[in-house]
Amino acid sequence: MKLLALLLALAAPTAALAQQAPPPSPPDARYVVKPGDTLYTLGTRYFARPGDYRTVQRLNRISDARRLRPGSTVVVPYRVMRTNPISTELVAYSGAVRIERDGQTVAPRVGLPIVEGMRLTTLAGGFLTVELSDESRITLPSNSSGRVRQLREVPMTGGLLRVFDLDQGRSSTSATPNANPDSRFLIRTPLSVSAVRGTEFRVAALSDGQATTEVLKGLVGVAGSQAEVAVAETFGVSVSPTAVGAPLKLPPTPKLLRGGRAQEDAVVTFEVEPVADAVAYRLQLAHDAGFIDTFAETRTDKTLAAFENIPDGAYFVRATAIDAVGLEGAASNYGFDRDLNILAPGQSAVQRSGKLRKYLFKWTATGQGARTFRFQLFADAQARTALVDQPGLEAPQVVLTDLPPGTYHWRVTATRLAKGQITEKVGGLQELTVGQ
C-alpha cells in the first residue's frame, strides 16, 4: 500500500473533471547542501528566476544566503524550481490523424516534435504513437482524442513530469521504469487518474460515461472521485462518476486459428478461438512486431474478423478479448504474409459464329508473379470425368465450341512463379447448364 500511496500522491486530489484542472504540482524538494553551495548558486542553477532564492531563504529561515552548512537539508518549493521541456516526437501514424497547437492544425510527419498543449486526435481508421525521451510510448488507436498537458524535466531533482489527458477513446502506454520519487506519469480521463512508475497499461474514456484502466505489466494506482485503488498486473478496473470498481481479472489471451498463415484471398480474415466470458474481440494490424506502427483494427462480437484492401507485404496481427464490463485482456501476436493470389471465375458467355456456338469461359487472377492456367470441364459435380483438360494456358480465358445440352462443372488451376517459388491454386467448381 505504500507504493499505491506514493503513486496516487502524484495524482490529482480528485479525479472528477481532471482534464479541466491543471496538473497537480509535485511535492517540495528536499535538497542536501553540497560543499560550496550558496542560495545564490542554487538560484542560478536550479530556480526559475535567480531572485527566487529569497523565497527559499524565508521558508528555511536562513540568515545568510551566502552560507549554507554542507549536509544540511534545504526545502525548495516546486513553484520556484526551473523546469525544461522533454523531447517527445511522433514516431508513427497512419490514416486520418489530426494534430493541433494553439488552435492551428499541424501537418503530421514522423519525427514531428510533440509539445505541451498539443491536441492529438485519431479519426476512424487513424492511429498514432508518440515516444518520449526515455523511450516511453503512448499510442492512440482509432476514434480517440487527448491533450499533452505536461512534459517537463526538473533539473534540481532529476524528476520527469508527464501528464496526458484522454478526452475520449482509448490509449495504450508503455512507461519505462523510473525510480526517481520525484517523477510522475499520469493518464487522466474526465473520471479517473492512472498513475504509474513503469508499466504497460491501457486507459479508456468510453462513450457510455465510464472509464477503464487495464494493467498488462506492473502496478497502476487509479484514483476516482470517491476512491483510490491499486490495480495489479493482469487486472483492470471500471470507473464511474460515483465509484471505482473493484479490480477484476482481465479476460484470457485469445488464440488465432492458423493466425500466421499466408493471406492470399481478397479479404484478409482471422478466426479467433473462443474465450470464456468474452463478448467481443479486437484485432489490430501493424507493420512492426511492437505495434508502434498500427494501421488497422476491427472489433467484432463474432469469432471471425475481416480486413479489406490490405496490400501485399509482411504484417503482424494482434488479438484481444473483451468482457461484458468492457475490460480488454492481454494480446496474442502473430506475424503473417499478405500475398494476394486470387483465382475467380468470370461469367460464361455464348457466342455464335455461323452455325457454331462458342462458349467463352473467363476468370481472373490477381497478385504478383507470372501464371499459367489449366482449364477443366467435368460432366459431374464430383469432378471425376474430365471432358476437357487443357493445361498451359497463358490467357485467363478459353473458348469451347458446341457443347451438347446438359449440366457441366468447370474449374481453373493457376500455377504461379513468384519470389522464386512455384505454387498452385485450385479454383472452386463452377456450374454451367447448357440448354437446347
Same domain, 35 and 92: no
Q: For residue 412, give the CATH number of its domain.
A: 2.60.40.10
What band does 24 get if pLDDT is binned at 50, 70 and 90?
Answer: low
pLDDT tens by residue, 280-331? 999 999 988 888 899 999 999 999 999 999 998 888 899 999 999 999 999 9
**Sequential DSSP letters for 230-281:** EE-TTEEEEE-SS-BPPPEEPPPPP-EETTTS-B-SSSEEEEEPP-TTEEEE
Query: Does the pLDDT value for residue 337 go beyond 90?
Result: no
Selected residue with higher pLDDT from 344 and 31: 31
pLDDT tens by residue, 100-159? 999 999 999 999 999 999 999 999 999 999 999 888 999 999 999 999 999 999 998 888
pLDDT score of 221: 92
Same domain, 88 and 222: yes
Of 218-227, 249-258, 278-287, 426-435, which gets the smallest average pLDDT?
A: 426-435
Last residue of a domain, one of 338, 370, 398: 338
pLDDT tens by residue, 47-61? 999 889 899 999 999
Same domain, 148 and 199: yes
Last residue of a domain, one of 76, 111, 137: 76
Classify residue 381 by its DSSP letter.
T
Same domain, 267 and 388: no
Please give the tally of structural domains in the chain. 4
Chain centre distance of CA 93 = 10
Same domain, 57 and 107: no
What band does 348 get if pLDDT is binned at 50, 70 and 90?
Answer: low
Chain centre distance of CA 120 = 14
pLDDT tens by residue, 230-267? 999 999 999 998 889 999 999 999 999 988 888 988 99
Same domain, 50 and 114: no
Same domain, 7 and 135: yes
Alpha-carbon span 187 to 185, nearest angstrom: 7
Chain centre distance of CA 180 = 28
Query: Does the pLDDT value for residue 354 go beyond 70?
Result: no
Q: For residue 35, give the CATH number of its domain.
A: 3.10.350.10
Last residue of a domain, one of 338, 353, 377: 338
Same domain, 52 and 97: no
**Sequential DSSP letters for 48-110:** SSGGGHHHHHHHHT-S-TT---TT-EEEE-GGGB--EEPPEEEEEEESSEEEEETTEEE---T
- SS3 at position 39: helix
In terms of phi and psi (left: phi > 0; alpha: psi -120 to 50; beta: otherwise), the region of 123 is beta
What band does 227 get if pLDDT is binned at 50, 70 and 90?
Answer: confident
> What CA dihedral angle connects 214, 218, 219 and 220, to 10 degrees?
-50
Same domain, 376 and 319: no
Same domain, 64 and 171: no
Rounded to 5 degrees, what are φ and ψ at 424? -120, 140
> How many alpha carbons lie under 13 Å from residue 358 in its C-beta half-sphere?
9
pLDDT tens by residue, 150-206? 999 999 888 899 999 999 999 999 998 888 888 889 999 999 999 987 789 999 998
Same domain, 100 and 236: yes
Same domain, 110 and 196: yes
Question: Which of 66-70, 76-80, 279-283 shows the highest mean pLDDT?
Answer: 279-283
Q: Which domain holds residue 358?
A: 342-434
Query: Does the pLDDT value for residue 436 go beyond 70?
Result: no
pLDDT score of 153: 92
